[in-house]
Amino acid sequence: MNDESGSSIHPSAVIERGAEIGQGVRIGPFCFVGPQVRLHDGVELHSHVSVVGATEIGSGTVVHSHVALGGDPQDAKHKGGHTTLKIGRDNIIREFATMHVGTDHGRRETVVGNNGFFLGYSHVAHDCIVGDHVTLTHGATIGGFCEVGDHAIIGGMTAVHQFVRIGSRAFAAGCSAIVGDVIPYGMAVGNRAKLRGFNIVGMRRSGIPRAQVLRMREAYRTIFDPARPLSENLSIAREAYADTPAVMEIIAFMEGRDRRYFCVPPLAGSAADTDDERD
């Protein structure tokens, strides 16, 4: 069934009164769209998609079968207040993925950026802030109040603990448990993950020159030198690497909040002591 806006809505789909449907929207069979939902131009819902709550989906986003968006947060303290889920433009959300609205005792909103790729069974919990070009691989889960920076990748079956921050262009390897913040460009691996150097592949893709990568490796050793307190290491690195923007981004991330728990490198000589890919 086509309407005057050029949208195509399958006869079996249920669109509640009050929902806002943009131009060129395609809604497949057996979808449900709630009364507070707003679908921008060109959104496509495949079959059996449920979009409820105060959920907004940006233009060009494609949502595959059996996805559930805008459900109540899985948080016992939430009392049913008005909260929202805002999804940006040109995302791909694959089968059985879930994203929830925020909580009335938290940020009150969950925000997902643009151009993301959310694979099957991935989950974005309440009150998260997810940047642009983020990938959640199959089964990846981020808990409530997490923050994920631009171009970050969360590997398959990896769980990110609530309130954790994942820096921009960081990589969390598959089947990992991320319980501490991961620095920008960092690579975290393992159950109670440790840092394994930098996400070299992501850095190459972002066009960071080799000379800057070498400077970043020097700064990494300074920042995580166990002989001194972290605060002192950050102060030394801030002065020594002021000419390296990526290092300054890492320092700003680590100084951005007090009393944070970070993923750190394994102790030297331990069985898990490995380095990132060499150039």
The one catalytic residue among 53, 88, 131, 144:
144
| pLDDT bucket at 271, cuts 50 / 70 / 90 | very low
> Phi then psi for 234, rounded to 5 degrees?
-65, -40
Query: pLDDT over 90 for what percent of the chain?
Result: 89
CB 279 within 8 A of CB 208: no
Name 261's Cβ contacts closer than 8 Å, sequence gap at least 6. Answer: 179, 180, 181
CB 100 within 8 A of CB 110: yes
Distances (CA, A) of 42 to 90, 119, 278: 9, 20, 43
pLDDT score for 274: 47
Residue 216 burial class via C-beta count within 10 angstroms: exposed 0-12, middle 13-18, buried 19 and up: buried
Q: Is 190 a catalytic residue?
A: no
The one catalytic residue among 127, 132, 150, 276:
127
pTM of the model as a whole = 0.93
pLDDT digits (tens, 9 = 90+) for 51-106: 999 999 999 999 999 999 999 999 999 999 999 999 999 999 999 999 999 999 99
| pLDDT bucket at 155, cuts 50 / 70 / 90 | very high
What are the residues facing 111 on neighbouring strands?
86, 129
Closest C-alpha to 152, from 179, 126, 181: 181
pLDDT score for 2: 63
Q: Is 144 a catalytic residue?
A: yes
CB 191 within 8 A of CB 172: no
Domain boundaries, the chain: 8-166, 208-255
pLDDT digits (tens, 9 = 90+) for 230-260: 999 999 999 999 999 999 999 999 997 667 8
**Quick check: 201 pLDDT over 80?**
yes
What's the mean pLDDT in 223-227? 96
Single-letter code of the amino acid located at 166: I
What's the mean pLDDT in 20-30? 98
Distances (CA, A) of 69 to 28, 37, 95, 117, 181: 15, 10, 12, 15, 26
| pLDDT bucket at 269, cuts 50 / 70 / 90 | very low
The one catalytic residue among 46, 64, 66, 126:
126
pLDDT score for 279: 44
Looking at the chain, the number of H-run helices and the number of E-run strands are 4, 28
Q: Is 127 a catalytic residue?
A: yes
CB 20 within 8 A of CB 39: yes
What span, in angstroms and rounded, lies between the C-alpha atoms of 204 and 89? 26
| pLDDT bucket at 171, cuts 50 / 70 / 90 | very high
Top-level CATH class of 8-166? mainly beta
Tokens of 62: 């494609």
What span, in angstroms and rounded, lies between the C-alpha atoms of 178 and 31? 34
**Quick check: 214 pLDDT over 50?**
yes
Distances (CA, A) of 274 to 195, 213, 222: 9, 17, 17
Quickly count: other Cβ atoms within 10 Å of residue 211's Cβ.
Answer: 9
CB 124 within 8 A of CB 154: no
